Amino acid sequence: MGKALLLSGTPTREGKGLRSVEQKVRLLAPDAQNGKCRSDASEAVEPLGKGARARAARMAATRWSSRVLSTVLKGGISFAGSGNSCQFAPLARTLQAHCSFSAPCSFTIQQCRQSSFFNKLTANDLWKGVLAESGPGARKGRGKRTKRKLKKDLNRGQSLGEGRSGFLWPGLNAPIVKSGTIQTIGKRDQAQMQEMQAEIIRQRDEWDKKRKARVKRERGWTGSSWGGVSLGAPDPGPNGETYEDFDSRVIELKNVFNMTAKEGRKKSVSALVVVGNGNGAAGFAIGKASERTVALRKAKNRAIHYLHYIERYQDHTIYHDISTTYRQTNIRMKKKNRGYGLHCHRAIITICKLIGITDMYAKVSGSINMLNLTRALFLGLTSQETHQELAEKKQLHVVEFREECGPLPLVVASPAGLVRKDGEPEDEVPDTKLDWNDVKAAQGMKRSVWANVKRTVW
């Protein structure tokens, strides 16, 4: 019969330690036949039935196994072996063969949690708290920019494996093989750590001081406004279609405000953008967003879905004079010869270039609201009547008289069907809407705006 000693406690002297060990000894005798555990509790319940004896044996085995584990974890005995909760024979043999007393040890377990307020929040959330970007004040655009702090990327300049401890990890911040030998984990001294931290801070400050490279964009109507600025081609569509031959121009970019019950005076950006390919196809749309770049992108991509085709006479001008009105905006457009140029409002010039019109005169009277101006221009250009449509309508030939041709008419359009024999009545007065400024100029009644200006006589 083999016997094993399970020791609990930390002896201070050799004699007293042995006596305390003898007082707390527990005998575990393995059964010779089946190798199962037999304890004092199993002997005490011998008169009981088989089921009761089995339950008592299991309870005793569980109790002794918990004591064994607690003794081993406290450091009373160190051994190399393994066993389960019901069979202690291998454990007893291991204790007989490898029983040794360990040195006295006393330690304190202190709970340490590696999570704090800074570990639970992301860097963006922490920067929002530092820069005061959250809250109703920031959403309403309050705060002076002179006192605004700049956000820094603290991860910039860091390398994987570097830390404040200064360890050198082969494969991360140190080479694996150096001079033919495999490197082991090392550590930098304090001077090297201070030098490395100073170098990271210096590089970070240099990166912040470097001016960001600004992409030079084409100048618009003025140097400080977005009017007339090119935004490039619209983004490709979801089905893979591209619009490389289209260009987009900003007509108006302004801040608009909406009064809400939750946020108060809420600011957003409104952008009016016109797109065109220079070959008669053009469209416009409005984009709104809280950010300027998002509003411009939305307007540019939305305008490509609202295209109009504008007819042009010989691909350079309109077919006839047009007078159009939208709300309080009036536009009079006149057909001009090649080489005349665009004598119009600057917004009309930008739109005509996107359409492909190079020679035209336009006069705007009334309101010069950019949205109404754009709508009035597209309304007039899309409602013009071509020479072929006029010939089909009148069932007559449409001719043009030019100075270089004299009285010889030049046929520009003919009807597809039969031509009417009788022409237009010559004695009938045509119903033509005249402009009073044109009438005064034709009759010599129009005077210069500088005529009555009083000049100082020197």
**pLDDT value, residue 351:** 97
Give pLDDT tens digits for 368-406. 999 999 999 999 999 999 999 999 999 999 999 888 888
**pLDDT value, residue 122:** 84
Looking from the CA of 148 toward its CB, the CA atoms found within 13 Å total 12
**pLDDT value, residue 28:** 40
**pLDDT value, residue 11:** 42
**pLDDT value, residue 423:** 80
**pLDDT value, residue 116:** 74
Give the residues of the chain that fall short of pLDDT 50.
Answer: 1-48, 72-88, 101
**pLDDT value, residue 52:** 66
Give pLDDT tens digits for 213-255. 566 667 889 888 899 999 999 999 888 889 999 999 999 999 9
**pLDDT value, residue 447:** 82
pTM greater than 0.85: no
Q: Which domains does the chain have, with CATH numbers?
A: 14-97 (no CATH), 247-309 (3.30.160.20)
Closest CA to 183 of 193, 161, 168: 168
